[in-house]
Amino acid sequence: MRRSKVLLVIGLRSGGTLDEVWNRTMRLTRGGREVRMPRAVIIGSGSEIAPTRVTNDQMARIIDTSDEWIRTRSGVEARHFATPDIATSDLGAAAARRALDSAGVDKDEVDLVVFATMTPDHFFPGCGTLLQDKLGMPPVPCFDVRQQCSGFLYGLQLADAHIRAGMARTVLLVGAEVHIGFMPWTRENYAYALGESDVPPTKEEWEWNSRFRHLVVLFGDAGSAVVLRASEEGERGVIDHDLHGAGADFDKLCVPGTGFKHRPYIDAEQLARGDHIPVMDGRFVFKMATTHMAAVAKTVLERNGIAPEQLKMVLMHQANKRINEYCQKTLGLPDEKVPHNIHKYGNTTAATIPLLWDECTRDGRITPGDLVLMVAFGAGMTWGASLVRA
Ligand code: UT7
């Protein structure tokens, strides 16, 4: 009979890497051999980009902005938006199918779904169960994560924790967004931007659209997914995370209306005021993002004894290319270790990091065994970093 024996249990203390916590809290042997805590290995990935590509020049047809401003201030050159028949769960499901294919995993093998998004199809339920249904999966547990631009890393930590604890062996982790619902313009304005109508915005519409110009030019729609599987052998897998959340400054980046703090939670006055559209103090968020992303990246590297030179790639959330260039400089990383896709897709919120992972693993910039650091900052405020051996 195979028996497990607990050699040492001294309780959880804060601090230390995940492996250190495991080693000082629980050490198991099976048949005289030490049992290792399972690692969550990313064994496949896939993405789905929304179909309608919109350039900065097209945006400038309906908003007081310019290609030059958007490009130099954010790095965005174009973004893709979903058509009206496509919701976040659709992009997520398409990305998930590709991820399962690339992993060689059948949908029936998945025993946990984690779906990160800040633009769910419905106020409730979340997208997790919608994805489960669209993929025709068995009724496995489905978590919805809503930590905005840090959503993928929060989801990764949740998936990793389930695998380390032995509560799941195969996890489907999805980040997807359809931001176009936040956009302030009318359907007619949008048709004009795309060159499908000859009717330009009225003066009032132009001013209304331009009120949100610092925000709406940044975002785009996409879904991306990874499949994680438990492994007791080798060094591959998620190594460590450092996540943070602090709500004191939540109102510097939030949707001020359409929440249950209001009675009713949505009404015509809120819509007329534009309270359903996010507000953002761009400079404040920029400063917080640069400070926290650089600091959390350093923390994770230092406590795992990893020098920046040992990293193959650093996948940073794509909110603004200048934020990432600042972090790159602080960490002393060369250009080839910090990939970007913001120029093609804009900020796809929960999808940015898995999109980068998918691109880099497909074109060979990341190969099995490479050390990869992922770093994000988002509304909440939330931020974090995860260290992974591909
Ligand atoms: O992922 C979630 C977290 N979000 C972020 O990380 C975003 C962080 N913040 C940012 O990326 C930047 O702050 C922005 C890209 C949003 C803005 O760049 P900025 O260099 O901080 O510009 P600013 O807000 O200080 O505005 C500078 C000027 C202002 O005009 P005046 O007052 O100097 O005349 C703005 O009205 O740029 C103007 N402006 C624009 N002009 C043309 C703001 N948005 C636009 C625009 N087109 N789209």
Is the CB–ligand 1 distance for residue 252 below 6 Å?
A: no
User: How do the domains of the chain map onto residue ranges?
Assistant: 2-37, 41-231, 237-389
| pLDDT higher than threshold 90 for residue 1 | no
Give the pLDDT confidence score for residue 6 in this predicted structure: 44
Other CB atoms within 10 A of residue 37 CB: 19
CATH architecture of 41-231: 3-Layer(aba) Sandwich (3.40)
pLDDT at 46 over 90: yes
Helix (H) or strand (E) holding 104: none
Tell whether the model's pLDDT for residue 4 goes beyond 60: no
| Closest among 365, 372, 291, 354 to 150, alpha carbons compared | 354
Tell me, yes or no, if 317 is annotated catalytic.
yes
214 lines ligand 1 (CB under 6 A): yes
- What is the rounded CA–CA span in Å between residue 113 and residue 227? 10
Residues in the chain: 390
**Ligand 1 centroid from CA 218, angstroms:** 10
Q: Which DSSP state fits 347?
A: B
Looking at residues 119-146, what average pLDDT do you find? 98
From the list 127, 142, 149, 327, the catalytic residue is 149
Asked if the domains 41-231 and 237-389 are classified in one and the same CATH topology, the answer is yes
Q: Atom 3 of ligand 1 has which residue's CA nearest to it?
A: 378
User: What φ, ψ does residue 44 adopt, rounded to 5°?
Assistant: -170, 160
* Summary mean pLDDT of the chain: 94
> What stretches of the chain show up as alpha helix (H) in DSSP?
18-25, 56-59, 67-74, 88-103, 127-134, 151-164, 187-193, 203-211, 213-216, 268-273, 282-303, 321-331, 342-345, 352-362
Q: Thinking of the domain 237-389, which architecture would CATH place it in? A: 3-Layer(aba) Sandwich (3.40)
Calculate how far, in angstroms, residue 214's C-alpha sits from the geometric centre of ligand 1.
Answer: 5
Residue 149 falls in the annotated catalytic set: yes
Q: Taking the complete model, does pTM exceed 0.75, yes or no?
A: yes
* Atom from ligand 1 closest to the CA of residue 65: 47
Does an H or E element contain 263, and which?
none
Ligand 1 center to 185 CA (angstroms)? 19
Mean pLDDT in residue range 307-336: 97
8 Å CB contact between 98 and 362: no
